């Protein structure tokens, strides 16, 4: 594993640095494949990208997951969220952005089709990720196989409660989703984990320094050859004194508005 951990003061710093990694990708690859994450952590990256005047029309993008069973056109669907927060603000071509079909008559078949489309794309160059309070990546809940592929998954009650803020009530939060599997995520060439808030400090420490096992799905980051973590100071607080585990040559204790090395 080659892991670079950057700490930033706040969401603005996270957005600026994360956007720099995307900008470097655009410079290095004429038609890059970008993995899109939803949730609150990546939002500053998308908002900062929107201010840079970049041409993202040649980007192909794949979402990590989608709820199963929401009504067509639901504002809570990840297809709607990505269109609202990413596709339109960044000028992506909607025809080059793929989201699992959570409204399909056969969700398992839709999951298989999404996995095939990912494989046919040649693979994700840069995958944006967040981490759940229980260690989930995408919607891979604790207990998910470390080599899993895109599939239908039952959401834990912890995850449903955490996402209830986006719905009128907890009862309206779906119980199932389609998610890229941990094995699918590991196929991306570069993983960029974005973490914000004191509430994520413990799980971030566990993911990066604890045992690699299905109880903490995000621990699979330790199995990947290229991982970058951008965390605000609150989220990184649990890693103080652990530099020796996290490759001290790559450690950057505070990064503000600066881009990544070589960016």
Q: In this model, does residue 109 exceed pLDDT 60? A: yes
pLDDT at 241: 64
Average pLDDT for 17-34: 94
pLDDT at 66: 98
Tell me what percent of the residues of the chain surpass a pLDDT of 70: 91
Q: In this model, does residue 175 exceed pLDDT 50? A: yes
pLDDT at 263: 43
Cα distance between residue 254 and residue 61, in whole Å: 30
> According to DSSP H, which parts of 31-181 are helical?
43-49, 78-82, 88-90, 107-120, 157-163
Tokens representing residue 208 in the block: 């990066």
123 with 187: CB under 8 angstroms? yes
Higher per-residue confidence, 240 vs 165: 165
Q: In this model, does residue 176 exceed pLDDT 50? A: yes
pTM over 0.85: yes
Query: Cβ-count burial of 16 within 10 angstroms (0-12 exposed, 13-18 middle, 19+ buried)?
Result: buried
Given pLDDT bands bounded at 50, 70 and 90, which one contains residue 1? Answer: low
Tell me what percent of the residues of the chain surpass a pLDDT of 90: 86
Q: In this model, does residue 213 exceed pLDDT 80? A: yes
Lowest mean pLDDT among 115-124, 185-194, 217-226, 250-259: 250-259
- Write the class of the CATH domain 2-122+133-188+208-237: alpha beta
Average pLDDT, the chain: 91
3 with 229: CB under 8 angstroms? yes
- Determine how many CB atoms are found less than 10 A away from the CB of residue 256: 11
| Domain spans, the chain | 2-122+133-188+208-237
Per-residue pLDDT of 73-82, as tens digits, reads 899 999 999 9
Query: Cβ-count burial of 243 within 10 angstroms (0-12 exposed, 13-18 middle, 19+ buried)?
Result: middle
Cα distance between residue 91 and residue 102, in whole Å: 24
Q: In this model, does residue 242 exceed pLDDT 70? A: no
Lowest mean pLDDT among 39-43, 132-136, 248-252, 257-261: 248-252
Cα distances (Å, whole numbers) of residue 62 to 123, 133, 247: 10, 23, 30
Q: Reading across the β-sheet that carries 2-8, which strands appear in turn?
A: 2-8, 226-232, 191-195, 126-129, 33-36, 60-63, 97-98
28 with 116: CB under 8 angstroms? no
pLDDT at 30: 86
């Amino acid at each position: 594993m080659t892991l670079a951990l950057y700490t930033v003061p706040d969401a603005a710093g996270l957005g600026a640095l994360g956007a720099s990694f995307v900008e470097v990708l655009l410079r290095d690859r004429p038609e890059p494949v970008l993995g899109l994450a939803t949730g609150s952590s990546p939002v500053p990256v998308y908002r900062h990208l929107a201010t840079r005047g970049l041409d993202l029309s040649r980007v192909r993008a794949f979402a990590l997951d989608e709820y199963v069973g929401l009504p067509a056109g639901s504002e809570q669907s990840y297809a709607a969220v990505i269109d609202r927060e990413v596709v339109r603000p960044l000028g992506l071509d909607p025809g080059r952005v793929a989201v699992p079909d959570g409204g399909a008559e056969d969700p398992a078949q839709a999951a298989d089709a999404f996995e095939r489309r990912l494989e046919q794309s040649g693979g994700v160059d840069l995958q944006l990720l967040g981490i759940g309070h229980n260690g989930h990546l995408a919607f891979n809940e604790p207990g998910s196989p470390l080599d899993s592929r895109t599939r239908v998954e039952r959401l834990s009650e912890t995850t449903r409660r955490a996402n209830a803020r986006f719905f009128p009530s907890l009862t309206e939060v779906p119980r199932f989703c389609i998610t890229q599997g941990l094995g699918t995520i590991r196929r991306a060439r570069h993983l960029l984990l974005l973490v914000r808030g004191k509430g994520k400090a413990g799980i971030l420490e566990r993911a990066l320094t604890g045992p690699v096992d299905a109880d903490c799905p995000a621990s699979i980051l330790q199995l990947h050859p290229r991982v970058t973590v951008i965390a605000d100071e609150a989220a990184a607080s649990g890693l103080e004194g652990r530099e020796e585990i996290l490759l001290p040559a790559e450690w950057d204790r505070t990064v503000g508005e600066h881009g990544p090395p070589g960016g």
